[in-house]
Amino acid sequence: MTAFPERRLRRLRATPALRRLVAETDLAPRHLVLPVFVKEGIEVAQPIATMPGVHQHPLADLPAVVEEAAAAGVGGVMLFGVPAVRDAVGSGATDPDGILNRAIAVAAEAAAGRLTVQADLCLDEFTDHGHCGVLAADGSVDNDATLEVYARMAVAQADAGADILGLSGMMDGQVRAVRAALDAVGHSRVAILAYAAKYASAFYGPFRDAVESTLDGDRRTYQLDPANGREGVQEALVDADEGADVVMVKPAGPYLDVLARVADVSPVPVWAYQVSGEYAMIEHAAAAGLIDRDRAVVETLLGIRRAGAETILTYWAVEVAQRLRAGEVRA
């Protein structure tokens, strides 16, 4: 007699309805946040060559961008400013009339509470040297002097109407410094998203085109070594202890192991950023006919969710949210 398998696990894969019924991981519009680049001094949106489908937007376009995201049901927009003028200390970041702070105010009014307005809190887009902090006399990034600027930047962003501040600079003590500055002026409601495990990654290349980075050198003295996983978990726990409301792992795809480890132990929500290089690889591979673009996009997002991310920053946020709402993607 033929010995048949005792367990037939394929039974629950037999039909779309069965697969949907037993799916362990879901994906919904609310799980997605759209990064948005707002550039000073332009009148029409400018395409970013290394990121097909992504643009630098003029301030006047921002209400329409926010409206589309809100209509799609995404959880928020993360704003990045591209200033016309930069200096050694990133003064445009703390100026209430700086491009990012103006963008926050415009986005907050357009959102009207339908999605969260998030702002990148870092100096790299505003400094003429491209580093995430102010420099000491020897050319190194001065951690504690940078914290003083971050505190002022946080207050300016909160005054402009941001719901969540994305602390992406990887300075030691940044969460504690920003939380104290916010609370001191009555902004206790403003949440902190700590880029806790942010790695010194090659996958940021297209993003640097998007913000027109002036960086000469690298950020390895403050961003994490790609070889280290335990250190990423430690960073997340420190940030949570200092008062972060959410911690994040960045990039997402190459660091799913770190994401899973952080998610297992974090006392606060855990997010991930599917960065520009991850986006560009799929777009360019699909354009070359090498992969099924739509399936690959959703598969990567499900993988990030499966690893433990409760929310994902992704340049496909609106597109995927629209597909989900239209029933084109399994929710």
Which residues belong to the active site?
Answer: 198, 250
The two three-digit tokens of residue 292, written as one number: 């099924």
> What separation in angstroms does the CA of 104 have from each of 4, 36, 60, 91, 116?
63, 11, 12, 17, 11
Please, are residues 120 and 78 in contact by the beta-carbon 8 Å criterion? yes
CA distance 322 to 302: 16
Alpha-carbon span 53 to 51, nearest angstrom: 6
Specify the amino acid at residue 54: V
Helix (H) or strand (E) holding 77: strand 76-82
Task: Extract the runs of DSSP E, i.e. beta strands, from 83-168.
Answer: 116-121, 164-167
CA separation, residue 303 to residues 14, 149, 227, 313, 314 (Å): 22, 37, 21, 14, 13
209 contacts 230 by C-beta, under 8 angstroms? no
User: b vs e for 197-234, b when ≥16 Cβ sit within 10 Å of the residue's Cβ?
Assistant: bbbebebbebbbbbbebeeeeebeebbbebeebeebbe
